[in-house]
Copies of this chain bind each other. A is one copy, B any other.
Amino acid sequence: MALLRFPPSLSASSPRLSSNPSHFLARNPLIGGKEVHGVAMAKGSGGAITGLVFSPFEELKLRPEVAMVPVEADKSLARFKYSDKCEAAVNEQINVEYNNSYIYHAMYAYFDRDNIALRGFAKFFKESSEEEREHAEKLMEYQNKRGGRVKLQSILMPVSEYDHSEKGDALYAMELSLALEKLTNEKLLHLHKVAEQCKDVELMNYIESEFLGEQVEAIKKISEFISQLRRVGPGHGVWHFDQVLLHGGGVHG
């Protein structure tokens, strides 16, 4: 155990001083009325030494799995109360977000074609692709923060054609995008439920604050796009909507 130990001489011979916290090095602490030698004491919370509420090193003596810092090179040091289930679920979500990014990138490539030429939609999907990749990276950072191990999985090739004879490609791609965002929302809620089952309050809060709200915003935004596209119709309508997307003319909030 790597706790700080005072040489026996120092603690045994030091007189019991006043309860002035600055002299903590010289105290012979009392725990449950019993004098304790040779163990470093944190400052007491109350005034008198007998009012001690928290004796961390005593607690640590009873909790070796917390006190002992792993020495194996491949073990995480920071990992604490982070279950394997949660770790795996986070890795899954990283893959989901990365897949979304790849799909949006394919949509960007489609609308950038010369015979499609909807540059506003191309720009929107290009930015969506970057945003999804940022989500994935955020989760990778979180995984490392909790002491889990990031495991990147394979990414399937996305669909590359988005033409639709009735709806038109722009509306069809937006409807696909909405379906994708709703599916991602479901997966985030599933991740949240796994965290709840593992009683991982911090992960639950992280998903709630950093992901769920943003997902709801995204779903609202794309739904509004679809409503507008349905209203203005294909042809001139879609082209105008595309112009607004391209130049950011207040189509969306």
Using a CB–CB cutoff of 8 Å, the interface residues on chain A facing chain B are: 70, 73-79, 102, 105-106, 108-110, 112-115, 126, 133, 137, 140-141, 143-145, 147, 149-158, 160, 163
In whole angstroms, how far apart are the Cα atoms of A165 and B156 in the complex?
Answer: 34
Nearest chain B residue, comparing its CB with the CB of A147:
B114
* Oligomer: number of copies: 2
Q: Are A154 and B156 in contact (CB under 8 A)?
A: yes
What chain B residues lie within 8 Å of A78 (beta carbons)? 114-115
In whole angstroms, how far apart are the Cα atoms of A105 and B144 in the complex?
Answer: 13
In whole angstroms, how far apart are the Cα atoms of A133 and B137 in the complex?
Answer: 14
In whole angstroms, how far apart are the Cα atoms of A112 and B112 in the complex?
Answer: 35
The A interface is mostly helix, strand or loop, or mixed, namely: loop
In whole angstroms, how far apart are the Cα atoms of A229 and B133 in the complex?
Answer: 31
Which of the listed residues A114, A143, A158 has the most CB atoms from chain B within 10 Å of its own CB?
A: A114
Q: Are A109 and B152 in contact (CB under 8 A)?
A: yes
Nearest chain B residue, comparing its CB with the CB of A133:
B133
Q: A109-B144, A144-B109, A155-B102 are in contact. Are A76 and B150 (CB under 8 A)?
A: no
Q: Are B156 and A150 in contact (CB under 8 A)?
A: no
Q: A73-B163, A74-B163, A163-B73 are in contact. Are A152 and B106 (CB under 8 A)?
A: yes
Q: Are B156 and A113 in contact (CB under 8 A)?
A: no
What chain B residues lie within 8 Å of A76 (beta carbons)? 113-115
CB distance from A34 to the nearest CB of B (A): 38
Nearest chain B residue, comparing its CB with the CB of A150:
B109
Q: Are A154 and B157 in contact (CB under 8 A)?
A: yes
What chain B residues lie within 8 Å of A149 (beta carbons)? 113, 160
CB distance from A244 to the nearest CB of B (A): 22
What chain B residues lie within 8 Å of A70 (beta carbons)? 115
What chain B residues lie within 8 Å of A75 (beta carbons)? 115
Q: A112-B141, A114-B76, A140-B109 are in contact. Are A160 and B151 (CB under 8 A)?
A: yes
CB distance from A100 to the nearest CB of B (A): 13
